[in-house]
Amino acid sequence: MSLFTLQHQDAHSQARAGILQTAHGQIETPIFMPVGTQGTVKSLNAFQLHQIGSQIILGNTYHLYLRPGIDTFLSSQGLHKFQNWNKPILTDSGGFQVFSLQKIRKITEEGVSFQSHIDGSKHFFSPRSVMNIQRHIGADIMMAFDECTPYPCDYAYAKQSLKKTHRWLDECIQDNVANQPLYGYEQLFFPIVQGSVFADLRKESCLYVAEKNQVGYAIGGLSVGEDEQTMYEMTNLCCEHLPTNKPRYLMGVGTPKNILNCIELGIDMFDCVMPTRNGRNGMLFTTQGIINITNQKWKNDFSPIDEGLTNAPLSLHYSKSYLRHLFMSNELLALQIASMQNLAFYLHLVKQARIQIVNNNFSSWKTNILDIITQRL
């Protein structure tokens, strides 16, 4: 029996609704996953994450390995107990971090040596060591150790990089088969498709990972600087070549518009730092449109931050004027209210998308809602 159940296929697009079973509960797709890099979704506690309807959150192998380190997770019996989160956790493998810290890394065929951004200490990641770390963290979904191909890059580099990512994938799977989970529950494993913006490489990668017969698959290396249309083309291509009965996770994407458009192409899972990072800088995603809350025009606007969100109580009870004041004063509460607003909005959006898919009305709903939520207020 598969852990992923495709419940409904939209009649007019590739959008789907499904359910993914994990050791810490099920996830209704399409879903957005809040990013909690260092064992915390910045500025929010577990109660607030439950309140806004988070079904699963992310952790990051690179960051958690460097601090607090795997011994802490062994002692605490995993990240769930450590951070008081009893729902699913997905860990990014750290491939993205290792490759984004370009000045202090060295890639070999075996893995990547790099220096800690915290204290400069030297470390080495290989497919097997990254799997070992993710076992210690105890993630419900572990990600393959890949190279997030930089953009732009030429065909030759992309091809060579893809080859390495595929070889590393095989090592990850061998390691996963050879080792048991540490905390008595099953950990799923998602391979990652690469191939930059080259159609034949993307297709080759999809076919390669699909053969591994895992529970789900991720698409990486997109939204790294290529234009939006190219990102959609590559996403569409991958959806055409990945199995229809497995969840598809588009890594690191994106804006509300990106997410709705990619749901329409057949993507089931998303994560992105945008709602939290941009929120901390005063950009709010609301059911009425996009707000820069630090703009002077909100100074005397005492209306609620967003009356259209039932899952964000802070946004009902605090005014735009007050939130602007908190930002202008560099008060910590500003970060919490803004992060909660944006994550609640993202989760509300994908929840509505799911309802519209089940009703076979996704595309027309998407067109209408995008007009509203992408306008700048």
Residue type, 35: V
| Residues in the chain, overall count | 377
First to last CA, the chain: 48
Contact (Cβ atoms closer than 8 angstroms) between residue 144 and residue 208: no
Considering beta carbons, is residue 40 or 288 the nearer one to RNA? 40
Catalytic choice (10, 92, 140, 175): 92
Considering beta carbons, is residue 70 or 262 the nearer one to RNA? 262
Buried-exposed string 311-332: b where 16+ CB fall within 10 A, e elsewhere: bbebbeebbbbbbbebbeeeee
Q: Could you list the residues that contact RNA (CB under 7 A)? A: 35-38, 40-43, 58, 60, 63, 92-93, 95-97, 100-101, 103-104, 117-118, 143-144, 146, 148, 192, 218, 220-221, 223-224, 228, 251-255, 258, 271-274, 276-278, 280-283, 292, 294-297, 299, 328, 330, 332, 335, 376
Catalytic choice (10, 140, 271, 306): 271
Considering beta carbons, is residue 258 or 356 the nearer one to RNA? 258
- Judge whether 271 counts as a catalytic residue: yes
Query: What angle in degrees, to the nearest 10, is found between the helix axes of 155-178 and 199-210?
Result: 10
Closest contact distance (angstroms) between CB of 325 and RNA is 10
Considering beta carbons, is residue 1 or 122 the nearer one to RNA? 122
CA 256 to chain centre: 13
Nearest-angstrom CA–CA distance, 144 and 179? 15
Q: 298 in helix, strand or coil? A: helix
Nearest-angstrom CA–CA distance, 348 and 123? 40
Which residue is associated with the tokens 């419940």?
7
Closest contact distance (angstroms) between CB of 344 and RNA is 14
Closest contact distance (angstroms) between CB of 343 and RNA is 9
Q: Is the peptide bond before 68 cis (omega within 30 degrees of 0)?
A: yes
Q: Is the peptide bond before 254 cis (omega within 30 degrees of 0)?
A: yes
Considering beta carbons, is residue 130 or 184 the nearer one to RNA? 130
- Judge whether 92 counts as a catalytic residue: yes
Contacts of 266 (CB under 8 A, 6+ apart): 14, 15, 16, 236, 239, 244, 248
Considering beta carbons, is residue 56 or 58 the nearer one to RNA? 58
Closest contact distance (angstroms) between CB of 7 and RNA is 26
Query: Residue 19 class from Cβ within 10 Å (0-12 exposed, 13-18 middle, 19+ buried)?
Result: middle
- 354 Ramachandran zone, left/alpha/beta (phi>0; psi -120 to 50): alpha
Considering beta carbons, is residue 287 or 342 the nearer one to RNA? 342
Q: 190 in helix, strand or coil? A: strand
DSSP strands (E only) in 117-184: 122-125, 141-143
Closest contact distance (angstroms) between CB of 11 and RNA is 28
Residue type, 123: H
Q: Which residues are catalytic?
A: 92, 271
